[in-house]
Amino acid sequence: MTMQIVNIEDLHETNPEIAIEVRVIRRWVTRLVPDETCYIFADKHVDGIHVVAAPSYKSAYDSALAVQGCYRILCFSCDDPPTYLKTLDRPVSLRFGSTATITPLEDSQIYPKLYFDFTEYENLVESTPTVDVFTGLIDHVVDAKTQDNAPYIRLFLKDGRNQFGPRRFMLSHNALSSSASIEKKSLSSLLELDRQQLAGQIYMCDAKIVDFIPGIPWFKRYCNIVSCQEKVSLANDKYFCVGHGLADSCRYM
């Protein structure tokens, strides 16, 4: 594999053969996704980028990447910035897992020790993301029907102030008969499962898409290894997973 070192400004799409040389400016664990570690990297041109380490590899990168440390990093994916946590005004973020190669570099003054993403005061309101995010618990789920006898589920949510509120989701669903190979559940029963229980598991249910948000893809590409829950990104004519590398195919979910 031929390695090419590029600047953060030149990162646009996934290419396992390119590397970056950066300083780790900041590290934190987001509360929105369990065990997801985020970073801010900055290169010698004082360009910054938001970085996400796959939750499955959190412990490895906690020890491999130190705040204020300088590193050469190879084999990562270029993704859209996470909508739930927009930290920088850059159209690309990075994500890496077990395929990444991290090489410590000698500390150098060419890499900035601080990084700020400034904006003009007049543009402050316009540049502030307005993403509706709920942080709390699903207390319980209730099956219900509309006046037209259309099924839906009501999620009762509990926020940080210990308050409850029902939210209605128009999701048609039918419980299927059990199967020896794949367990079949209704959507409401899937929502009651703990997220950790869902990792690596396959369930089947009948459902109908009743609405979607225009401009946002309604499907995602995942690693073709069934036990892997990582999304893949396009790398030329192949699919790149941060946990298993390049593959000729992927799963659509």
Tell me 187's DSSP state.
H
The residues, ordered by sequence, that sit 6+ positions from 39 with a Cβ below 8 Å of its Cβ are 24, 25, 26, 27, 50, 51, 52, 53, 65
Task: Tell me what the mean pLDDT of segment 54-76 comes to.
Answer: 85
Mean pLDDT, residues 102-120: 82
pLDDT(83) > 90: no
Question: 191-238, pLDDT tens digit by residue?
Answer: 787 766 666 677 777 777 676 666 666 678 888 888 888 888 888 888
Q: What is the model's pLDDT at position 11?
A: 93
Choose the CATH number for 4-127 among 3.90.79.10, 2.40.50.140, 3.40.190.10, 2.60.34.10: 2.40.50.140
Segment 69-76 mean pLDDT: 93
| Triad 63, 20, 73: Cα angle to 5° | 30
Phi, psi of 122 (to 5 degrees): -65, -25
Round the average pLDDT of the chain to a whole number and report it.
77
pLDDT at 68 over 70: yes
- How is 51-100 classified by DSSP, letter by letter? EEE-GGGHHHHHHH--TT-EEEEES-EEEPPPTT---SS-S-EEEE-TT-
Q: What is the model's pLDDT at position 179?
A: 36
The pLDDT value given to residue 120: 60
Average pLDDT over residues 72-98: 86
pLDDT-derived band at 36 (thresholds 50, 70, 90) equals confident
Provide the pLDDT for residue 93: 92
The pair of three-digit structure tokens given for residue 186, joined into one six-digit string: 């209704």
Residue 133 token pair = 């995010």
pLDDT band at 104 (very low <50, low <70, confident <90, very high): very high
Q: What's the pLDDT tens digit per position in 139-188?
A: 667 777 777 777 666 766 665 555 445 444 444 333 333 334 567 778 77
Tell which wins on pLDDT, 190 or 128: 190
Question: Please, are residues 243 and 250 in contact by the beta-carbon 8 Å criterion?
Answer: no
pLDDT value at 135 more than 70: no
Domain ranges of the chain: 4-127, 134-193
**CA atoms lying within 13 Å on the CB side of residue 63:** 3
Q: On the CB side of 18, how many CA atoms lie within 13 Å of its CA?
A: 15
Residue 13: both structure tokens together: 């799409």
Q: How far apart are CA 19 and CA 166, in angstroms?
A: 47
| pLDDT beyond 90 at 10 | yes
* Cβ neighbours of residue 143 closer than 8 Å, sequence gap 6 or more: 151, 153, 188
